[in-house]
Amino acid sequence: MTDSYAIVFEKISKTFKHAKEPSVYETNLKIEKGSFVTILGASGCGKTTLLKMVNRLYEPSTGRILVNGEDTANASPTLLRRKMGYVIQQVGLFQHMTVEQNVATVPEVLGWDRQKIDQRVDALLRLVNLPPKEFRKRYPGQLSGGQQQRVGIARAMAADPSILLMDEPFGAIDAINRAALQDEILRIQKKLHKTILFVTHDIMEALKLGDQVIIMNQGKIQQFDAPLAILQHPANSFVRDLVHPEDLLQQMAFIKSRDVMNTDAAVLGADDQTPTAGEEESLKDVLLLLLKTQAEYVLIKNTEGAVVGRISFQELKKVGLNAELH
């Protein structure tokens, strides 16, 4: 059913003028609504070209792209882009405008009334952890790189688009702020259920953020799968060399508890002393908790605090951990 897909690529390719080879070879992809999909690859692999064809910054050479079931070729590029959020590495904030003016740009173009715009600006600044009273009247030059990127994310979501396109948005941010922004965008996506297409050349970032990961090389998709599947079953030697599946600790850092927990109702009972972890926490965190507490297992809770499963060393073994860890 196409209704479940936010973006569909049908035989899409892109060859730039005077280029000897396509930037993107013929590609078929389906991106589910509400999913977080990362596109991973080295510079020149075609990942940004693939992204920019979605909002028609680049026109496909062949094929068509459907966004929420509609052929983008039949839409005005300007109107199409207003329906999508777009975040880039350089942020692109208007330096002569305050934070609130930057965030309000698209709603003002769409003719929203002032009260609605003000409410939206405040809500979005709170969402990206920039208190409105403190940041509304500041100019981009008065913000750190990480803060500017947060404003960029808020601006991209101002008109409440269902799709966010993000082109290496955290590439120019230092490691500490980058990790914080990664956690921020995961929190936002989990809360708002936006469809996010996120380009990166950072393997750890791609595996951490993506529900699914598109791995590209020389204009061709090498694998499109969940992080766990990619780590456990690389499609070819290129993917295997890229993700180093033999590195078990790396695997654990990018596998979420919910992916391997035992959900059998018969095993969920425990006393108050049993350690707990969230279903979004990594297996690496769960392993450290098991080793620290020397518990038999860790209970896994959902965002409402209800126990939904448990993980013991038996579950950890299923993803390739040596039994000697016990």
Residue pair 203/241 in contact (Cβ under 8 Å)? The answer is: no
Select from 285, 235, 223 the least CA-distant residue to 260.
285
Whole-number pLDDT of residue 279: 87
pLDDT in tens, 167-211: 998 887 888 888 888 988 988 898 889 999 999 999 889 988 999
The verdict on domain 2-246 having CATH code 3.40.1130.10 is no
Cα separation of 8 and 64, whole Å? Answer: 8
pLDDT in tens, 201-260: 998 899 889 999 999 999 999 999 998 888 888 999 999 988 876 667 777 877 888 888
Whole-number pLDDT of residue 59: 96
Whole-number pLDDT of residue 10: 97
What is the β-pairing status of strands 36-40 and 212-217? Answer: parallel
Whole-number pLDDT of residue 257: 87
Regions of the chain where pLDDT drops below 70: 1-2, 91, 245-247, 265-272, 319-326
Cα separation of 105 and 310, whole Å? Answer: 47
The verdict on domain 252-325 having CATH code 3.90.1280.20 is yes
Whole-number pLDDT of residue 322: 39
pTM score: 0.83
Return the amino acid letter for 8. V
Whole-number pLDDT of residue 281: 86
> Which two three-digit tokens encode residue 310?
């448990």
CB atoms under 10 Å from CB of 218, counted, come to 16
Domain ranges of the chain: 2-246, 252-325
Task: Enumerate the β-bridge partners of residue 167.
Answer: 88, 199
Strand order in the sheet with 24-32: 24-32, 5-14, 62-67, 70-71
Cα separation of 302 and 306, whole Å? Answer: 6
Whole-number pLDDT of residue 263: 87
